Homo-oligomer: A and B are copies of this chain.
């Protein structure tokens, strides 16, 4: 499926059918596309009309130009023996798109987005495949079955590894799927349609916050919800019709001047920067892991070329976006607030939590997630811990506090600590010397954590400094009230 547009170019310009980018769009709609449209206009008028409203239509790029396939392509098949008699494939992969959109595909291929399909051997996959699921979803391509929880849940955002059946059809466990890290039959990673929805591929639609919100939402990373709460989301909603959102050039401060969308800040052009489909190049913290790290650290683990780009440069890229509407002082102070919240999370919850879990391990049942504590700790960093950090990153105070640090504290003190203490008691009562020892070690760790400055309030201890601060705060407030 590699050279589809090239083939079109070949037909039009007599070029050799080698793999190459197209120099110019076709001058006429191809006969093949006209043939496709004849039936699909009747049978699936929606997609024909969507395409009719697209830039592709205007550029004479039709069904066949994108869906054509080489005979040798793994997913090639003759769609209709009577009429078309040409090989096509169902999936249009980034390798196809790059014939015309090489720069965008390259940028995207260096982002975390296209790596999202790799989750399949990670922790989340254990959850969906074993804990939540089973192997009962048997299909032609998977006689041993798949977990429907993975197929219908995880894979729809992360991407499936698409399996081609004998006749070029796609295995129903792996298709329909527009997960952003889809592993395609041609080996490429990614799905441009994850954001640029078929068959209009509208740039305006891709710039809408809800597009990102299909996956960036929910208990574990509610970016959509945080955005909607923020001043940015408020301004967007109030002024959407003045945002010029379908303008090819879409520079904040020039083409629109109200709130930004996700796309504005993470990918969009500014006066100084070009659009970039590598969404990580303006992010200065990776708040995904139990302890926040700089993005170049995880880029390196992932083997991404952007590992060479430090967080300071990425932050400068973002500051450049902010400056369209905000002063330098404002931006600097915002980042100090954001960094402070990340540090608070890391130091008060992330690091001690991780250490406590390590100490608890010998006392836990072996199967991960068969202990209540496994769930508690998982949600602490993966759910509320992220909500706090991400809420701070995008100025959504309710997510930072009520869905974030409040839930962190509640679950740390009212769930995790009591559950750890019950492990200590159980271990101490055990006949197993190793368990007894582990129990002692865990108890010592708990004591250490609870007696540290961050947590001693729990034992009704406050440092002198803390006492003084509280006293002053209460007095200051009383003075205000009595006015």
User: From DSSP, what is the main secondary structure of chain A's interface residues?
Assistant: helix
Those of A118-160 within 8 Å (CB) of chain B: 118, 120-122, 125-137, 139, 144, 147-149, 151-157
Interface pair B135/A402, CB less than 8 Å apart: no
Contact between chains at A333 and B120 (CB < 8 Å): no
Q: Which of A465-480 contact B (CB under 8 A)?
A: 465-466, 469-470, 473-478, 480
Which stretch (A25-33, A45-53, A279-287, A432-440) binds chain B?
Answer: A45-53
A149 touches B466 (CB 8 A): no
Are B367 and A406 in contact, with the CB atoms below 8 A?
no
Which of A4-12, A102-110, A288-296, A455-463 interfaces with chain B? A455-463
User: What mask results when residues 165 to 205 of chain A are scored 1 for a CB within 8 Å of chain B, else 0?
Assistant: 00001101101101000000000000000000100101011
Q: Mark A288-327, 1 if CB is under 8 A from B, else 0.
A: 0000000000000011000000000000000000011111
A344 to chain B: which residues have CB within 8 Å? 133-134, 136-137, 147-149
Task: Assess whether B367 is in contact with A457, with CB atoms less than 8 Å apart.
Answer: yes
* Chain B residues whose CB sits within 8 angstroms of the CB of A220 once the complex forms: 402
A134-B453 in contact (CB<8A) = yes
The answer to whether B205 and A229 touch across the interface, beta carbons within 8 angstroms, is: no
Cβ A333 vs Cβ B172 within 8 A: yes
Assess whether B473 is in contact with A125, with CB atoms less than 8 Å apart. yes
Q: Mark A254-273, 1 if CB is under 8 A from B, else 0.
A: 10011000000000000100
Q: A208 on the interface (CB 8 Å rule)?
A: yes
Stretch at the interface among A13-21, A335-343, A353-361, A441-449: A335-343
Residue pair B49, A257 in contact (C-beta under 8 Å)? yes
Residues A330 and B176 in contact, CB atoms below 8 Å apart: yes
Sorting the interface of chain A by its residue count into under 10, 10 to 19, 20 to 34 or 35 or more gives 35 or more
CB distance from A338 to the nearest CB of B (A): 7
A385 at the interface (CB under 8 A from B): no
Q: Please tell me which stretch of A68-76, A92-100, A392-400, A423-431 contacts chain B, meaning at least 4 of its Cβ atoms lie within 8 angstroms of it.
A: A392-400
Residue A334, interface by CB 8 Å: yes
In the bound complex, CA of A327 to CA of B47 (Å)? 10
Q: How many copies does the complex hold?
A: 3
Q: Judge whether B340 and A127 touch: CB under 8 Å.
A: no
Chain B residues within 8 Å of A235, by CB: 197, 205
Nearest chain-B residue to A328 (Cβ)? B43
Asked whether, in the complex, the Cβ of B398 is within 8 Å of the Cβ of A120, the reply is no
Interface residues of A in 219-253 (CB under 8 A from B): 219-220, 228-231, 233-235, 237-239, 252-253
Q: Is the CB of B369 within 8 A of A118?
A: no
20 A-B pairs with CB atoms under 8 Å apart are A43-B323, A49-B257, A50-B325, A134-B454, A137-B337, A144-B469, A148-B340, A148-B344, A151-B337, A152-B340, A153-B391, A155-B397, A157-B397, A170-B329, A197-B234, A214-B230, A214-B234, A218-B398, A370-B413, A372-B414
